[in-house]
Structure 1
Amino acid sequence: MDKAKVALLVGATNQPGWIHEIADWLRREDGFQISALLVAETTGARRGRVSPWSSVGLGSVARLENRILNTRHRAQLATRELTESVPAGTPLIRLTLQRDANDELAVCENEALTAARDLDFDVILVLGLPAVRGTLAGLARRGAWLLAHSELEGRADVTHAGFWEVYQRADHTTVKLWRLGATEQGDALLDSRSFNTEPFWLKNRARALSLGNFMLFDTLRAKKEEPKPSPVAGDLQIHTAMARPLPAQWDGAAYLARQAWMISGLVLRRAMKRNVTWRIAMCPTEREQMVTSAAAILEPPKGRFFADPFVHTQEGQPYVFFEDYYFRERKGKISVATFVDGAFQFLGVVLDLPYHLSFPFIFQHDGTTYMVPETCGNRTIELWKCTEFPLKWEIHEVLMRNISAVDTIVFPHGGYWWLLTNIDRADGTSHCDELFAFYADRPDATTWTPHALNPIIRSPVKARNAGIVVGGDGAVIRCAQTQGFLHYGKGVSLNRIEELSPSSYSEAEGPVHYPSFLRKPFASMHHWHHHGGHTVFDFAFME
């Protein structure tokens, strides 16, 4: 099979770790080869350039926050020679970039450009540089691609990526992959994804760099088909009307003040022992009807919380399986309660393992009741079988191993058994941004085929599973969490799956329902499930 020829366009041979990750991936992945390292030397550059930290007054912020970064994040930012990560003998071509009258960067016509053109690239990756247009747009068959980790005006600014989202307490941070045109009007958006904004700038930037790389890898894997530009408004370009200026000294000082206020608030809450405690509730509703305040509540004992409820009706009697978290043990167990004469009756713990358990998804197959609890703490997806309902269960099969996955649901549809789960591909800190689908011919299969479009959902607005309803009419409603800035469980949406096959996926997006019915500070809800005429959900608020 012919390998796709990829060129890396950078500003110098000394590059940070996130660019080395791209080079390492291209070396490992079948079907790709790094055909050249293009080093851009800019003439006519803006005057008065100084260190990016001192120029914007954010050096103190960077020094403080660098202490909270983990080893992987620090490695993303540490620089070393890129020639160490590209194959030996890779051509190094030094191109000249020049700014035109409109301050746009373009490649100068010279011998180096002719040499690059002769290499007949499939794609050029513009990494850590501003947008380069003009001749570059036609230098490779699939064009020149630019990762925009930030939408600061006039540049794809990596240094300050994620700053404004934290500064303005935005719920989500967006990363975009562009195919550059000869002019800005010719730019095409190949992919746009977002993640839940981290509370600190450098952690947010690290997440943006990680997500950008995964976007790039996913798009490159689809190399046999021309990547289709995402549907966006016709006037949306890299430098949008909403683009923000570079942070100034005042912004750095204001950011520190905001962060100090946020941290002091958290410390004060802890000192006053004000906590958010999760509870579960149940009420009779229709299949797609949202909850109301008229619900029966199961209150947790002191030192525990209840969350992630699933209701299963057996002989007309509802049983609620849920996460039963013990603060002293710092882990969740799976417990069950029933509902009799308008009141909950706690029946006991059904699963207590050495690792954390939650999200006890229940389904039936061939007359047997199964459970797929979240077992991310064991890096597995496990299938448990009920031997004596509802209290006795035994392990039936391990569906997947060595995987950081949460909130898994398994159901039949269209001749296959489907497994939808939230996988964190970066560093194990967040599972809210991407949803993955797999299929097999049995629910207890140990080999699952990935969906052709994985990840099938790419947004923290609705990626993370919050439950599912599979109707007798074949309808499938996927419940999804919505997260906010420092607000886990901001709301829940009900999304009807319209198309699901090994090569396609679409769902009708339902509105996000917020727990306003609680009328409490910091109201939260992140789970919803319906079965047998009963709806269960969880909720929390500041106490």
Structure 2
Amino acid sequence: MSDFDPSAPPVRVALLLPEADCRVWQQRIAAALNGLPDTEVRIVRVAATHAADAQWRRWRNTIAELGAAEPASVDHAGLGEVWDAVIDLAGIAELAPWRARSARGVWQLLDSQGGHLAAAYPCHASITSGQGGELALVRDGAQVLDSARFFADPYYPASLGQAYRSAEILLCAAVRELARPAGPQPVAAFTPQPRAGSLSRALHGLRGRALAWRRRLKAQWLSESWMIGVVDAPIQGMLTESFQSRIRWLGERGRSGYRADPFGLPGDTRRLYCESYDYQEGFGRLESLRLDEQDRIVEAAPAGVRLPGHLSYPYLFEHDGGLYAVPETAARRRCELFRIDQAGHWQPVTTLLEDVAAVDASLFAWGGRFWLAYTDLALGAFDNLCLSYADDLRGPWQRHARYPVKLDHRSARPAGTPFVHEGALYRPAQDCASGYGQAVVLNRVDLCTPHSYREEIVAECRPDPRGLNPHGLHTVSAWGERTLVDGKRYVFSPRELGRKLRQRRDRTFGSAGR
């Protein structure tokens, strides 16, 4: 059933842009809003000025989104005209005159300190903290309509563009909600943090540089070492606080690589699939494991599928008595569905996504449809949740009207099996606030239709800082009355370091040769 009225008139939006000094990011948002269906956008020029120091003026010449630009068209609307919403991309000083001309208030994009996106240094405090950027879509300076928390390099100039790209996604999603409403939207009060002065901002900038440098050193000299674990409780046990403490790790830590992304065969308490990553080769393969009665790994063999490139996340799904798999094949820019027969052979069924670098794709049924949740690498590796849906497992598959449906590096990227408990749908996701796969959180899905999606974090599972794998968790998968997980420790691997150094050498000499 459709969740909007196709006979409704188009949504009318006034878009406020500066009468002078318009920037590339503002032009791009205007173009994106103009391209939305069921929407009529009027561009209105307004007076707005913002202080800029020498550093900010220099960045205007080096950061692409801050370059000078002109909007494609301008409409000097009459003073008596009223819109469904007024979107302020200029950073006006007085909201009251425009609030009176908008049925749903004046919308602004503000950072966590209340700074407007058009002002100098937006999202500076959050980006340089090392915990990612924060941006809120705020109505009338008081109510948060939606928000984005994006993964960001702590070095501010490297991540500022992501703030503007996140703003475009937020605004397009909010305007689509106006055109195709799905009932009352939850709103929260906007409470900005104290603003930093110029000295504090300079110190934050130095902190961001140091954090960025530390991340680069860690990525160069240390390696992720994942291990598979099991919990003797069903996956809904994640809703309890004791879930993490019950993890038992399987096998020994590998020197030449690691195992991660475990998914157990339904109805078989001893067999599972996982990713097997080789440090020297630098990519993963799918592996089939068999456990004995004491959960020791007694057999390991290649999975029954051979595809080129990196393979991981062998997600399993039962339907009409058949067992299906959706492995991660982002390097091939396609997402494929396989059927696994009794002998363990993987037979291709259909292509779910074409020309999309989808990672951690997780298939589930809900509301009479099949859904595929994934992160699109074209939008970022850690902070976006995308959905596609179909009435039949073999397709055709369609993108959700909001793409992505969520921007939040704390709870977007899929992390295992969605499940239903007491009538509610839950979706595991990765917490990547300051790095990949730090922990797993559990979202309760409150709304899932082809045009709307809402979920809320209700539980989390974090690694034991004194345990065998203290640095991350990023998969929880249902296995009947048990649950499979994986955990991470950073280690020094001569094999992977050698590969990284060779790649760096090849890039350096390759660039010199060109």
Shift of 1:295: 1.7
Deviations along 1:181-239, one digit per CA (max 9) or x if unpaired, are xxx5xx43322232234322123322221111111111112233679564324xx35xx
Q: 1:303 to 1:78 in 2, by over 3 A?
A: farther
Write the letter of the residue equivalent to 1:356: H
Count of residue correspondences: 476
Given that residues 274 and 314 in structure 2 are in contact (C-alpha distance below 8 angstroms), is that contact kept between their aligned partners in structure 1? Answer: yes
CA distance in 1, matches of 2:328, 2:476: 16
Task: Quote the residue 1:334 is aligned against.
Answer: 286
The residue correspondences of 1:252-291 to structure 2 (distance < 5 A) are 252=202, 255-256=205-206, 259-260=209-210, 262-263=212-213, 266-267=216-217, 270=220, 273-289=221-237, 290-291=243-244
Task: Quote the residue 2:45 is aligned against.
Answer: 38
The residue correspondences of 1:79-98 to structure 2 (distance < 5 A) are 79-82=68-71, 85-86=72-73, 90-91=74-75, 93=76
Task: Quote the residue 1:366 is aligned against.
Answer: 320
Pick one of 127, 133, 138 that aligns with 2:89: 127
Q: 1:156 to 1:274 in 2, by over 3 A?
A: closer
Q: 1:33 to 1:501 in 2, by over 3 A?
A: closer
Shift of 1:405: 2.5
- Tell me, what secondary structure is at the counterpart of 2:33? helix
Are 1:160 and 2:118 matched, yes or no? no
CA distance in 1, matches of 2:116, 2:266: 57
CA distance in 1, matches of 2:180, 2:266: 47
Are 1:247 and 2:214 matched, yes or no? no
- Tell me, what secondary structure is at the counterpart of 2:121? coil
The residue correspondences of 1:299-448 to structure 2 (distance < 5 A) are 299=252, 301-314=254-267, 316-342=268-294, 343-344=296-297, 345-390=299-344, 392-423=345-376, 427-430=378-381, 432-448=382-398
Shift of 1:527: 0.8
CA distance in 1, matches of 2:366, 2:489: 37
TM-score norm. by structure 2 comes to 0.81
Q: 1:282 to 1:262 in 2, by over 3 A?
A: same
Q: Taking every aligned residue pair, what percent have the same amino acid on both sides?
A: 23
Task: Quote the residue 1:103 is aligned against.
Answer: none
- Listed as ranges, the gaps of 5+ residues in structure 2 are 1-6, 238-242, 492-514
Given that residues 234 and 480 in structure 2 are in contact (C-alpha distance below 8 angstroms), is that contact kept between their aligned partners in structure 1? Answer: no
- Listed as ranges, the gaps of 5+ residues in structure 1 are 67-73, 94-114
Given that residues 365 and 371 in structure 2 are in contact (C-alpha distance below 8 angstroms), is that contact kept between their aligned partners in structure 1? Answer: yes
Deviations along 1:11-31, one digit per CA (max 9) or x if unpaired, are 234422211112222333333
Q: 1:406 to 1:132 in 2, by over 3 A?
A: farther
Shift of 1:540: 0.9
Write the letter of the residue equivalent to 1:447: W
Write the letter of the residue equivalent to 2:129: Q
Given that residues 123 and 135 in structure 2 are in contact (C-alpha distance below 8 angstroms), is that contact kept between their aligned partners in structure 1? Answer: no
Q: 1:404 to 1:326 in 2, by over 3 A?
A: same
Write the letter of the residue equivalent to 1:247: S
Given that residues 56 and 121 in structure 2 are in contact (C-alpha distance below 8 angstroms), is that contact kept between their aligned partners in structure 1? Answer: no
Q: 1:265 to 1:457 in 2, by over 3 A?
A: closer
TM-score norm. by structure 1 comes to 0.77
Deviations along 1:87-106, one digit per CA (max 9) or x if unpaired, are xxx43x4xxxxxxxxxxxxx
Q: 1:330 to 1:6 in 2, by over 3 A?
A: same
Task: Quote the residue 1:9 is aligned against.
Answer: 16
CA RMSD of aligned residues (A): 3.4
Given that residues 47 and 92 in structure 2 are in contact (C-alpha distance below 8 angstroms), is that contact kept between their aligned partners in structure 1? Answer: no
Q: 1:396 to 1:131 in 2, by over 3 A?
A: farther
Task: Quote the residue 1:179 is aligned against.
Answer: 139
Pick one of 480, 488, 507 that aligns with 2:429: 480
Shift of 1:492: 1.4
Given that residues 124 and 145 in structure 1 are in contact (C-alpha distance below 8 angstroms), is that contact kept between their aligned partners in structure 2? Answer: yes
Write the letter of the residue equivalent to 2:317: F
Task: Quote the residue 1:531 is aligned against.
Answer: 479
- Tell me, what secondary structure is at the counterpart of 2:473? coil
CA distance in 2, matches of 1:14, 1:499: 41
Task: Quote the residue 1:112 is aligned against.
Answer: none
Question: By percentage of residues, which structure has more strand?
Answer: 1
Greater Rg by CA: 1
Given that residues 17 and 43 in structure 2 are in contact (C-alpha distance below 8 angstroms), is that contact kept between their aligned partners in structure 1? Answer: no
Task: Quote the residue 2:500 is aligned against.
Answer: none
The ranges of structure 1 where at least 4 consecutive aligned residues each deviate by more than 6 angstroms after the TM superposition are 471-475
Given that residues 244 and 461 in structure 2 are in contact (C-alpha distance below 8 angstroms), is that contact kept between their aligned partners in structure 1? Answer: no
Question: Which segment is superposed worse, 330-339 or 194-203?
Answer: 194-203
Given that residues 236 and 421 in structure 2 are in contact (C-alpha distance below 8 angstroms), is that contact kept between their aligned partners in structure 1? Answer: no
Whose RCO is larger (CA < 8 A, sep 6+)?
A: 2
Pick one of 137, 140, 145 that aligns with 2:99: 137
Task: Quote the residue 2:489 is aligned against.
Answer: 541
Task: Quote the residue 2:173 is aligned against.
Answer: 218
Deviations along 1:269-310, one digit per CA (max 9) or x if unpaired, are 84xx44331121234333433244662424464342222111
CA distance in 2, matches of 1:507, 1:140: 28
CA distance in 2, matches of 1:135, 1:284: 61
- Tell me, what secondary structure is at the counterpart of 1:160? coil
Write the letter of the residue equivalent to 2:365: P
Deviations along 1:110-130, one digit per CA (max 9) or x if unpaired, are xxxxx6324544433211424
